[in-house]
């Protein structure tokens, strides 16, 4: 119900639980209950001050609750990215949203955006999003063309005009950055461009926390699917090698399953 959602958001309970679990995983104390008690007591005063300064209006509480529920309902990586972008655009009332997901295999941030079908790769530390990822800080810019970190190349290429920008890191339970969530061009009631305020920062911060958990779950699911596919490919390959299928059939089987075994784009078989 709405009163329950208001209470959760007003007292920042989601963020409190997230930080408690994160610190518990990092320190791994022998007595978790005592650790929780000390942690809550030590941070009570600071949280009280923070909540007095930053409270989400009741009109946004239900939207935030529905957005986080929608994000956590997805498990497929592609659907997860699409849902995060969609819910962020709706929650913050902005023109566009970009989601950068860190790929450890290539040490790059993979960009997915609400206005793009192709993906773009960004190095950690490169541009505003790369800096937010590297430094783990929130950036709120009223006019991007007055910020030297902003790359105007994309706007010049597409004719789009980026004015306001809100960018926040996505952290996991180990406090490691796993991505960046970026909202572009805040929209006012009349459709005019505005600036992101403190409420927008708080909303995007809550959403980024849930996005971090959801992305980690989706990554685990993806790895499990890939492991299953590689196991099936290995079984098929072993079966082909042990069976008397002939040279052409054996080569065809190797070519079909080699990509899945080593996760390659292409493969070749050379015969002497």
Task: Assess if residue 156 is contained within a domain.
Answer: yes
Q: Count Cα atoms within 13 angstroms, Cβ side, for 97.
A: 21
Residue 268 is assigned to a structural domain of this protein: no
Is 269 part of any domain?
no
Do 8 and 118 lie in one domain? The reply is: no
Residues 77 and 211 in one domain: yes
Q: Coil, strand or helix: which one is 256?
A: helix
The share of the chain scoring above pLDDT 90, in percent, equals 22
CATH number at 171 reads 3.30.450.40
Q: Examine residue 230 and state whether it is found in any structural domain, yes or no.
A: yes
Cα torsion angle, 166, 167, 170, 175, sign? negative
* Domain that residue 253 falls in: 222-262
Specify if 92 maps to a domain: yes
Domain finish residue from 202, 219, 236: 219
Q: Answer yes or no: is 238 within a domain.
A: yes
Question: Do 134 and 250 belong to one domain?
Answer: no
Query: How far is the CA of 20 from the CAs of 67, 171, 173, 203, 210, in angstroms?
Result: 23, 14, 9, 20, 15
Same domain for 74 and 96, yes or no, is yes
- Tell me: pLDDT of 46 over 70: no
- Could you tell me if 4 and 66 lie in one domain? no
Q: Which of 66-75, 83-92, 120-129, 230-239 has the lowest mean pLDDT?
A: 230-239
Provide the residue count of the chain.
Answer: 272
Q: What's the structural domain count of the chain?
A: 3
Asked if residue 237 and residue 189 are part of one domain, the reply reads no
Note whether 133 and 161 are same-domain residues.
yes
Q: How far apart are CA 174 and CA 19, in angstroms?
A: 10
Residue 53 has pLDDT above 60, yes or no: no
Residues 91 and 101 in one domain: yes
- Same domain? For 115 and 226 the reply is no
Q: Are residues 175 and 241 in the same domain?
A: no
Q: What's the distance, Cα to Cα, between the start and end of the chain in Å?
A: 71
**Does 211 lie in the same domain as 168?**
yes
Distance CA 229, CA 239 (A): 15
pLDDT in tens, 136-171: 999 999 999 998 888 888 888 888 899 999 999 998
pLDDT of residue 191: 82
Residue 227 lies in a domain: yes
Q: Kindly report the pTM of this predicted structure.
A: 0.64
- Per-residue pLDDT tens for 70-121? 887 777 777 888 888 999 999 999 999 999 999 888 899 988 876 666 668 8
Q: Closest Cα to residue 175, out of 25, 1, 70?
A: 25
Residue 240 lies in a domain: yes
| 191 and 97 together in one domain | yes
């Amino acid at each position: 119900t709405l009163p329950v959602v208001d209470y959760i958001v007003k007292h920042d309970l989601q963020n409190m639980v997230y930080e408690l679990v994160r610190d518990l995983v990092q320190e791994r104390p022998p007595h978790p209950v005592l650790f929780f008690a000390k942690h809550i007591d030590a941070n009570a005063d600071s949280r009280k001050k923070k909540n007095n300064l930053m409270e989400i209006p009741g009109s946004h509480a239900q939207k935030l609750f529905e957005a986080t529920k929608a994000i956590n309902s997805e498990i497929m990586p592609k659907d997860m990215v699409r849902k995060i972008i969609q819910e962020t655009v709706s929650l913050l009332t902005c023109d566009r949203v970009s989601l950068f997901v860190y790929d450890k295999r290539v040490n790059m941030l993979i960009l997915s955006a609400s206005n793009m079908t192709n993906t773009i790769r960004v190095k950690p530390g490169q541009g505003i999003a790369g800096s937010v990822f590297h430094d783990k800080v929130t950036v709120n810019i009223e006019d991007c063309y007055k910020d030297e970190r902003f790359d105007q190349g994309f706007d010049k290429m597409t004719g789009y005009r980026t004015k306001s920008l809100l960018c926040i890191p996505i952290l996991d339970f180990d406090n490691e950055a796993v991505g960046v969530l970026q909202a572009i061009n805040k929209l006012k009631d009349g459709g005019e461009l505005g600036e992101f305020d403190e409420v927008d920062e708080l909303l995007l911060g809550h959403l980024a926390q849930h996005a971090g958990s959801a992305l980690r779950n989706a990554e685990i699911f993806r790895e499990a699917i890939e492991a299953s596919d590689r196991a099936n490919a290995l079984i098929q390959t072993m079966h082909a090698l042990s069976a008397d299928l002939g040279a052409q059939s054996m080569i065809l089987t190797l070519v079909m399953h080699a990509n899945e075994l080593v996760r390659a784009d292409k493969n070749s078989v050379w015969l002497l």
